[in-house]
Structure 1
Amino acid sequence: MATHRATERASPGTRQGLRPVTVFFALAFALTWMWWIPAALIERGTLPIDVPWLVLMIPGGLGPLFAALICASTPFGGAGVRPFLRRAFRWRAAPRLYLLGTFGMAAMVLGTLPVQLLAGANWDSSGALAGLAALAPMFVFTFLLGGGIDEEFGWHGYALPHLQAELPPWSANLLLGVLWSLWHLPLWWNPAVSQHNLNYPLYLLSTTGFALVLGWLYNISNGNVMLIVTAHTFSNLAYGLQSAAIDPVYQWINVTVMAASGLLALTLTRGRLGYTQPQWGRVVTPP
């Protein structure tokens, strides 16, 4: 029985260059920023509207998902929304890959706790217990709306296959990481969210490293998007648990680990990140 692979052939006549993914990113940014910028202005008191800023954050986070669904639809030249969702909801992958995507991701973040404490962070036992108690509901929220399906059906379900079909894997994943970082930019204008207090250049470096790690995981799993959704969810949960357990969190430590992990994946795979298609310049059309 034929299986979906990240190295699938391109059908005749499907070469469209980077135009489809360019439209995707334009839509993803527009569909998110139209909500997140007003949310930031409301929280700053610049926009005198009596709407809780949090109400605007959730629909904004759905931007990449809706952009992918629009671009995958036949009116926009895609193969159709149903085939796209059928491929995106594919769960089957080797158990070792799910171990990497769950415990491996959590270990990358929580493994920095001893270093954070040595650097001067204070341990908060009650905060750690509260974080553990909230893991189950936070998992559901994050998986659906906090960086899981809402983002990854766009970034790795739609964008990365198109980017890797046209660009070398290292540049495709680096570009995705940079654009992914820029997509989050309005959060730095909103004083009510955690990103507001982070150093943005360091965040860009961390997110780009994370994109390289996820790109490698995506390729070696033959394009399993649900594995990437799971990995992104566990990473976000680990960061949340970390911030609940210690104060302050030293961003440079997290960035060093994530950037080094991405660089390691890039180096060990000689820039291919597990991608095995012999040439670029073709848009992959899975059967």
Structure 2
Amino acid sequence: MTAHAPVSPGIPPSPRAAHRPGRLRGSIRRRPLTWFFALAYGLSWVAWTPYILSRNGIGVWDFTFPGGQGASQLLGVLPGAYLGPITSALLVTGVTEGRAGLRTWRARMTRFGVGWRWYLVVLLAVPGALALASAVLAARAPDVPSAAILAAYLPALLAQLVTTGLAEEPGWREFAMPRMQSRYGTLTATFTVGVLWGVWHLPLFLTEWGGGPDVAWIEPVQFVATTIAFSVVMTWVFNKSGESMPLVMLLHCGVNNYVSMAWSDMYPSLPDRYASHAFLLASAVAALVLLVATRGRLAGPPRRKAP
């Protein structure tokens, strides 16, 4: 049993102490988006600090995360990714909407029934668009991936879904987009989330994840430009599919999986930075086509009118 200091029965607790939890809860309920973004950034950036300070980053801390580049990134990056967007979304949803909000969150996260054609299009369109963009930049046709790469492609994609996809998209798309679209409109929501999603990654450019610590300034700038353009595509898929998070996660992870698994095998003579150039080119073209085709609506809901 834990001992407690005696409390005089004649002296009530201070109003400040009594109402502090209520004030915090009230602040979260009044500003759920502000709290979500602040928590997503704060939790991730604090958790990434050891990785950034280690020899995998700027080298202030005399420690190297084990397992080589791939495993060290999982150990250094993934914990912060899980602590950021998805944890923040669950916390703020639980405080502001309770069990009903968490049920809505779960319904979007398990909305698999969007038709097999959607999955086929996303599975084929992502590597197809990236391969085409890479071919334009390289001015040549790609090499055929090896049998080992083709065999490992789908298993690696599943691994991406439960790491990158599950860590990020339940926050940026599932939590932020519906609230921002209804309040600010689809385009404002899309560009805002695109910027915040990209900037959230910026500390990682001080590490091997982003080619750091001595990365050129153009690399993070290009990355944020890419997240803005790609967010247009993500928003359209999110809205058009009835807010199906499995499909959105598949779209996001399809890019990561192609770049990490197939790109270097198809374009072995190109520098690694060309993969980022290809992603930006493919995203920008797709975003422009969707903005023109939908007249900027991106299949979004009408903006909520102010009372």
Structure 2-normalised TM-score?
0.76
Q: Is the 8 A contact 2:181 2:303 kept in 1?
A: no
Matched residue, 2:230:
210
For 2:53 and 2:80, locate their aligned partners in 1 and report how far apart those are by CA, in whole Å. Answer: 14
For 1:128 and 1:41, locate their aligned partners in 2 and report how far apart those are by CA, in whole Å. Answer: 37
Structure having the higher helix fraction is 2
For 2:305 and 2:59, locate their aligned partners in 1 and report how far apart those are by CA, in whole Å. Answer: 48
Note closer, same or farther for the CA distance 1:37–1:217 as it changes in structure 2 (3 Å cut): same
1:217 is displaced (CA, Å) by 0.8
1:195 is displaced (CA, Å) by 4.9
Q: Which runs of 5+ in 2 are unaligned?
A: 1-27, 67-71
Give the one of 46, 58, 63 matched to 2:60: 46
1:150 is displaced (CA, Å) by 1.5
Matched residue, 1:151:
168
Note closer, same or farther for the CA distance 1:194–1:134 as it changes in structure 2 (3 Å cut): farther
Q: Is the 8 A contact 1:93 1:224 kept in 2?
A: yes
Note closer, same or farther for the CA distance 1:254–1:233 as it changes in structure 2 (3 Å cut): closer
CA deviations 1:114-140 (Å, max 9, x no partner) are: 224327x9x777x75553343244212
Matched residue, 2:178:
161
For 2:29 and 2:231, locate their aligned partners in 1 and report how far apart those are by CA, in whole Å. Answer: 22
Give the letter aligned to residue 156 of structure 2: M
How does 1:113-152 map onto structure 2 within 5 Å? 113-118=134-139, 128-146=146-164, 148-152=165-169
Give the one of 109, 130, 136 matched to 2:130: 109
Give the one of 198, 208, 233 matched to 2:253: 233
**What's the Cα RMSD here?**
2.6
Query: May I ask how many residue pairs the two structures share in their alignment?
Result: 260
1:87 is displaced (CA, Å) by 2.7
Q: Is the 8 A contact 2:157 2:253 kept in 1?
A: yes
Larger gyration radius, structure 1 or structure 2: 2
Note closer, same or farther for the CA distance 1:80–1:195 as it changes in structure 2 (3 Å cut): farther
1:281 is displaced (CA, Å) by 4.9
Give the one of 268, 279, 286 matched to 2:303: 279
For 1:18 and 1:269, locate their aligned partners in 2 and report how far apart those are by CA, in whole Å. Answer: 33
Name whichever of 236-245 and 220-229 sits farther off.
236-245
Give the one of 173, 192, 196 matched to 2:190: 173
Give the letter aligned to residue 242 of structure 1: W
For 2:211 and 2:221, locate their aligned partners in 1 and report how far apart those are by CA, in whole Å. Answer: 12
1:212 is displaced (CA, Å) by 0.3
Structure 1-normalised TM-score?
0.81
CA deviations 1:89-137 (Å, max 9, x no partner) are: 1111133322332211221112224224327x9x777x75553343244
1:265 is displaced (CA, Å) by 1.2
How does 1:4-43 map onto structure 2 within 5 Å? 19-42=31-54, 43=56
Indicate the structure whose relative CO is greater, using CA pairs within 8 Å and at least 6 residues apart: 1
Q: Which runs of 5+ in 1 are unaligned?
A: 1-15, 283-287
Note closer, same or farther for the CA distance 1:230–1:253 as it changes in structure 2 (3 Å cut): closer
Name whichever of 222-231 and 255-264 sits farther off.
255-264
Note closer, same or farther for the CA distance 1:17–1:271 as it changes in structure 2 (3 Å cut): farther
Q: Is the 8 A contact 2:187 2:297 kept in 1?
A: yes
Q: Is structure 2 residue 103 aligned with structure 1 residue 86?
A: no
